[in-house]
Chains A and B, each alone.
With several copies, the nearest count.
Chain A
Amino acid sequence: MRKITYIDAMNEALHEEMQRDENVFVIGEDVDIDGGVWNECYKLMETFGKQRVVGTPISESAFSGLAAGAAMCGLRPVLEFMYMDFVGVAMDQLCNQIAKLHIMSGGQVKIPVTIRMCGTGTGSREAAQHSQSLEAWFAHIPGFKVVMPATAKDSKGLLKAAIRDDSPVIFIENRNLYYEKEPVPEGEFIVPIGQGEIVREGTDVTVVAVAYSRHKVLKALEMTEASVELIDPRTVDPLDMPLILDSLAKTGKLLVVQEATSECGIGAEIVRQVVEKGFDYLDCPPVVLGGKNIPTPFSAPLEDHVLPQVEDIAEKITAFAKYQI
């Protein structure tokens, strides 16, 4: 299969969807200039022109609202936050407007907005205001779907699915994956929202790895003998619980790995649903390995300490595998 980068895969999705549906447009800071700061909008301006490739001032509330209003009138905006961390300035437009307009109107308006959270990730020493993974905020608010592709293939397939979805979709990207080449099928394909993926089959432990953690877990597997079933949920709201529960029926042991802080995170949510729906499968206490409950510090050794490292994951997996009922 051909190999392209995560960012190019998303860029292909944008080209294809904008070609397919003239109501699709992109909006965000710098998207109209030199293909955007991440190169995510490469050639969009040249191909679709400035009415459909809308550069904005640094006014996230205003342009998020613009997207919502345009969606109310039938357009399908793809909205960009340059980093997920900046979403704080627009939480009202996202969570009180975009997520709720459909229901507040009694179903009369739809808000098919795709909200790209670019530049999410850690490990590049960008400190507390550029290192957050805030998927839990949106999973907590009814009205959104939330996806977190961890491969180039999923980045394309999920972006296309998001754009075609009639609900607002929070699309969370990881900057550490942007420029790695990976296999991506040619042409059209969709990765359905709500479908997880079994990355590795195994029998000892089920590891659910959220987003970038998938790659950390894969590295950790090289350091352990345990037979691990690795699941990438891909969509974190709604979760693919049947997939997770089926795996647990086999392994009886659950580890969730995520970069976000554990408190009230996706891992906690998975545990809540797992114990409610699959308590009898569990042979030992499910554990969430997440970011520590501290704002991410700048200094390298401190940042590494705050986030789950490959060694931590390997250690936990080994301990889990050894655990006897």
Chain B
Amino acid sequence: MIKKYYKRMLTIRYFEERIKQMYRGGEFFGAIHLYIGQEAIAVGLCSQLSDNDYVFSTHRGHGHYLAKTHDTKGAIAELFGKETGCSHGYGGSMHMFNPLKGFMGGNGIVGGGIPLALGAAFSAQYRGTNEVSVVFFGEGASNQGTFHESLNLAALKKLPLIAVCENNRYAATTPVALSTSDEDITKRADAYGIKSLSVNGNDLTEVIAAAKKAVKHVRSGNGPFLLDCKTYRVEPHCGIIADKRPEDELAQWQKPENDPLNCYQAQHPKELNSATVAALETDVKYEIEEAVEFARASSFPKVENFIKEFAVQ
């Protein structure tokens, strides 16, 4: 398990590094928002879910996608706009989909996915399955009206929803102190009578433990749960935006003990000794290069099919 989880975080990390490089090289276009530094949250949550459970993601969704589906090829091909992409090239970075694996899409609208996640939770309740619905969102999104409406509604209907706030301290260039009047999002959960937990989102062990609790609570029909995960966005917000955060702050968060991968490795020196990690790194790199080749070799979707399938008139 430990190796597996580490490998998943590593896959996300290397995926994002590779993407960044190719994006800068002009190999593909569109907006990309990198997940580097937040890997433990996606991996920790998804470690407790099955393919039947649902994940709703955000604009910063590559990590969620990989953690839920393990589909590196589909993800890269999607970024390239290829027909082998997980959304057949129609979605791109912000709209990866894989409903067969329970991945219900990213979202280009901040806070836009929270109401959608209610629906999957509702469907589980309606059919009497024990599926759960997980929605990721940033601390910035927690100030959108949809957050409030959805949490109240989830609580009223006791829906099996896990709301995961990734508090990475910034919304684009705005620091959390200027966006969120009380940074402690669990207080918002309290206001609706929703159970919650705050965790160090960069410590996979903590996240897994919290995710276990949340999933158990929700699967047993006790209604929604909120997880407040403290983390940090290491990269700039996205491709085009200048990043002028304080250097010492950046340095602080890049220290080994604050990096989710290093932190997890330090906790498991035996299972994740340097030989093992080196081997994993080789594996993951190989897998990603394979996926890059796959994406490059794939074709673009055909305009003719497009018209047939989607045109209304």
Contacts and interface: CB of A to CB of B under 8 A. Distances in A.
- Asked if A and B touch directly (CB within 8 angstroms), the answer is yes
Interface string B129-149: 000010000001101111001
Contacts of B150: 59, 62, 65-66
Contacts of A82: 172
B114 A37 contact: no
A127 B96 CA distance: 11
Contact of A127 (B94, B114, B178): B94
Interface residues of B, number: 78
B91 A124 contact: no
B105 A65 contact: no
Contacts of A68: 115-116, 119
A293 B99 CA distance: 25
A62 B172 contact: no
A167 B92 CA distance: 22
Given A59-B145, A89-B111, A96-B112, A107 B88 contact: yes
B313 A104 contact: no
B95 interface: yes
Given A37-B172, A51-B126, A57-B149, A65 B140 contact: no
Interface string B296-311: 0000110100100111
B303 A127 contact: no
Contacts of A64: 115
A33 B126 CA distance: 20
A86 B153 CA distance: 19
Interface residues of A, number: 71
Interface stretch (A71-79, A201-209, A313-321): A71-79
B30 A66 contact: no
Interface stretch (A183-191, A217-225, A295-303): A295-303
Interface in A120-147: 124-130, 142-143, 145
Nearest to B79: A298
B118 interface: yes
Given A89-B111, A89-B145, A305-B306, A103 B29 contact: no
A292 interface: yes
Q: 10 tightest CB-CB pairs across the interface, nearest first?
A: A69-B119, A65-B115, A106-B88, A298-B92, A299-B81, A129-B108, A62-B149, A299-B89, A59-B149, A73-B123
22 contacts: A30-B174, A66-B118, A69-B117, A69-B118, A69-B119, A73-B124, A74-B123, A75-B126, A82-B172, A86-B110, A89-B111, A96-B108, A97-B112, A103-B90, A104-B95, A106-B89, A108-B99, A109-B97, A125-B30, A126-B92, A129-B109, A301-B300
Given A37-B173, A128-B95, A302-B90, 13 more contacts: A57-B140, A57-B180, A63-B149, A65-B116, A66-B150, A73-B54, A89-B109, A97-B115, A126-B30, A297-B89, A297-B301, A298-B89, A298-B91
Interface of A: 25, 29-30, 32-34, 37, 51-52, 54-59, 61-75, 82, 85-86, 88-89, 92-93, 96-97, 101-109, 124-130, 142-143, 145, 167, 237-238, 292-294, 297-302, 305
